[in-house]
Amino acid sequence: MTKKHTATAALRRGLLAATFVAGACAAFAGAASAQNLRVGLAEDPDVLDPHQARTFVGRIVFTALCDKLVDVTPDLKFVPRLATSWEWGADGKSLTFKLRDGVKFHDGEPFNAEAVKYNIERAKTLPESRRKSEITSVASIEVVDPLTVKLVLSQPDVTVLAQLSDRSGMMLSPKAAAAAGAAAGNKPVCSGPYQFVERVQNDRIVLQRFPDHWNKAAYAFERVTYLPIPDSTVRLANLRSGDIDIIERLEATDVKTAKADANLKTASAVGLGYQGMNINLANGERAKNPLGQDKRVRQALELSIDRDAINQVVFEGQFAPGNQPFPPANPYNAKEIPIPARDVNKAKALLKEAGVTTPVAVEVTMANNPRSQATMQVIQSMAQEAGFAIKLKATEFATMLNEGTKGDFQANQYGWSGRPDPDGNIHAFVTCKGGLNDWKYCNPEVDKLLDEARTLADPARRKANYTAVQQILSKDLPTIYLYHESWIWGMKKKIDGFVAHPDGMIRLDNVKG
C-alpha cells in the first residue's frame, strides 16, 4: 500500500473510532462488536429521500432505512414486505394491495392505506421527484379501508409492481414528509428496520435499530454505519485491518487478495444493469459541441472503443462487455444487435463525413474511484487513435449527478444498477420526459414503443418493442453502453447469513457477525 493509502486508511480508522462515543454506544476500534455493523460504500449517497434519490449506494442505505411495499428475491420473484398480498384487476387497469397490520413509522405514526396514498401521490407530484416517469400510469389511488389500497391505472401497466419493489414503493411518514417538504432527505423518517441518526457528508451515515419494527427479530445489529470510501484499495485495506465489516463492489482485481485472506470471505451475483457513457444532447449550452449535436461523431466514438479489451485490462475478464441496457443473459437482450467491433478507420471516416475538426475535444466527467478512472483512461487512449482528445474530470459521484441534472457536462461515465423488469433499465433514461434523462434525448417513436411496452403482458410482444427501440438507440447513441458488472462483496469471515442478490443490495435481515 502506498503512503497515501496508508494515511487515508489511518484517517478513516480515526473517524470510525470517534463515531460512537459518550452516550451513543460503547466506543470501538479494531474488530467490530456484535452490536455494530460498518459497511464500506464505493460512493457517498445523494439525498436520502427515496422520491428524489438516484444513486446506487443510496438504495443500499434505503434497504435498511425505508421499507417498501414489495421486495424481490435473488431469483427475481416479488414477495411481500409492507404489502402482504396484491391482486390485478381483470382489465389490468388496477392493482389492489392488502397491507401489513401494526406497522409504525420511525416517528410513531401508523402505516396504513392513507400513508400509501400520500407517498405515491408525493412521488408523482413533488417537483423534485425522480419517480414520476416510473409510475406515470397510476392515475389515482383509492383508500378502500385502513389496510387496503387500490391503484387505478390510466392503462394496463405490467411494470408497476416492479417499480413498487424499489424507491417508488418506499414509504415515508406522511406527517414528517409533509412538514419537511423537499428537505425530507435531511432527516428521513421511514418505517424500515433501522432509523436515521446522523449524516456527515462524505464521511458517514449512521442508523439505529428501530425497536418497533414489525420484523425486528430478524435484525441483529444495534447500529449500522455506512462509510463512503471511493478508493477501492483503501476500502479493502480497511476491511482487512478490521475497521470495516462488509464492503460492496470489491474490485475484480482484488478478489484473489480477499480470498487469500483467512479472515475474509467473498460473495457475488451477476448484476441486472450496465455501465456506459452518457452524452449531453440537449441539456443547455454544454450540449452544443460536435459530440452532442451529431450522431455520426457519437458513432465514431463508439467505434474507437474495444469493449473486450476494457474487460480484460480493467476487470481481468470477470465482467461482460455490452452495448445494451440489458445484460447478455437477460431475455430482453437483442441478440440481433451485436457489439460493434473496434474500427478506427471507419471512425475516422465518420468524423470526416461529419465535417468536424480533429482532434474532437470532449470532456468526460467520471466518479473519483479507481474503476471509473481506469475504464476512462483506456477509452481515452483508444479514442485518441480515432481523432478524439478526451479530457477526464474526476469528481464526487453525487456531485457528478447534480451537474448532470443541471446540464453542466458534455459526457459522463456512470451506469445503472438494474431492475428486474426491463422497463426499469430504459424508460426513465430515453423517453422525452424521463426522470433520469439528463442528456435530454427525445425521440417520439422511442416514447411510443416504450409506453406501449408497459401495456403488453405477452413477453414476446414486449421484446419486439424493446428490440425496435434498441435499433434506434444503437444509431442515435445517447448512451454508449460499455459493460455489465457482477456485484462482488467482501466481508469478515464471521459475517453469517448474507445472501447475494443480483440487484446489488445489502439486505440485513438474518445477517449476524
Average pLDDT rounded to a whole number, residues 272-297 = 98
Shared domain check, 474 and 340: yes
Q: Is the dihedral of CA 433, 434, 437, 438 positive or negative?
A: positive
Check whether 3 has a pLDDT greater than 80. Answer: no
Q: Where are the alpha helices (DSSP H) in 126-254?
A: 160-163, 174-180, 232-241
Shared domain check, 75 and 48: no
In a domain, 185, yes or no: no
Q: Encode pLDDT of 123-152 as tens digits.
A: 999 999 999 999 999 999 999 999 999 999
Question: What is the domain-level CATH number for residue 44?
Answer: 3.40.190.10
Q: Encode pLDDT of 359-373 as tens digits.
A: 999 999 999 999 999
Check whether 7 has a pLDDT greater than 70. Answer: no
Shared domain check, 397 and 464: yes
> For the whole model, what pTM was predicted?
0.79
Q: Encode pLDDT of 247-282 as tens digits.
A: 999 998 899 999 999 999 999 998 999 999 999 999
Helix, coil or strand: residue 410: coil
Shared domain check, 37 and 99: no
Residue % of the chain over a pLDDT of 70:
93
Residue 34 is predicted with a pLDDT of: 61
The C-alpha atoms of residue 496 and residue 316 are separated, in whole angstroms, by: 28
Check whether 436 has a pLDDT greater than 50. Answer: yes
Shared domain check, 431 and 345: yes
The C-alpha atoms of residue 121 and residue 137 are separated, in whole angstroms, by: 12
Q: Encode pLDDT of 440-463 as tens digits.
A: 999 999 999 999 999 998 999 999
In a domain, 500, yes or no: no
Check whether 498 has a pLDDT greater than 80. Answer: yes
Shared domain check, 207 and 153: no
Residue % of the chain over a pLDDT of 90:
90
In a domain, 287, yes or no: yes
In a domain, 497, yes or no: no
CB atoms within 10 A of CB 313: 14
Shared domain check, 280 and 261: no
Check whether 102 has a pLDDT greater than 60. Answer: yes
Shared domain check, 423 and 292: yes
Q: State which residues form the domain around 27.
A: 3-66+192-270+487-492
Residues 354, 345 contacting (CB under 8 angstroms): no
Shared domain check, 293 and 201: no
Check whether 300 has a pLDDT greater than 80. Answer: yes
Residue 10 is predicted with a pLDDT of: 37
Question: What is the domain-level CATH number for residue 356?
Answer: 3.10.105.10
The C-alpha atoms of residue 243 and residue 10 are separated, in whole angstroms, by: 10
In a domain, 182, yes or no: no
Shared domain check, 424 and 299: yes
In a domain, 385, yes or no: yes
Check whether 2 has a pLDDT greater than 90. Answer: no
Range of lowest pLDDT (174-183, 257-266, 312-321, 440-449) = 312-321
Check whether 33 has a pLDDT greater than 80. Answer: no
For the chain, what is the mean pLDDT? 93
The C-alpha atoms of residue 302 and residue 260 are separated, in whole angstroms, by: 38
Residue 29 is predicted with a pLDDT of: 36
Question: What is the domain-level CATH number for residue 81?
Answer: 3.90.76.10
* Domain boundary, last residue among 177, 211, 245: 177
pLDDT band at 13 (very low <50, low <70, confident <90, very high): very low
In a domain, 23, yes or no: yes
Which residue is associated with the grid cell 403482458?
457
Check whether 32 has a pLDDT greater than 80. Answer: no
* Domain boundary, last residue among 177, 208, 228: 177
Question: How many alpha carbons fall within 13 Å on the CB side of residue 179?
Answer: 9
Average pLDDT rounded to a whole number, residues 175-190 = 98
Residue 329 is predicted with a pLDDT of: 87
Check whether 31 has a pLDDT greater than 70. Answer: no
Residue 463 is predicted with a pLDDT of: 97
Number of domains the chain contains: 3
Shared domain check, 131 and 10: no
CB atoms within 10 A of CB 300: 30
In a domain, 507, yes or no: no
Shared domain check, 127 and 43: no
Residues 346, 303 contacting (CB under 8 angstroms): yes
Average pLDDT rounded to a whole number, residues 175-194 = 98
> Which residue did the predictor score with more confidence, 270 or 165?
165
Which among 227, 191, 307 has a CA at the least distance from the CA of 42?
Answer: 227
The C-alpha atoms of residue 422 and residue 408 are separated, in whole angstroms, by: 29
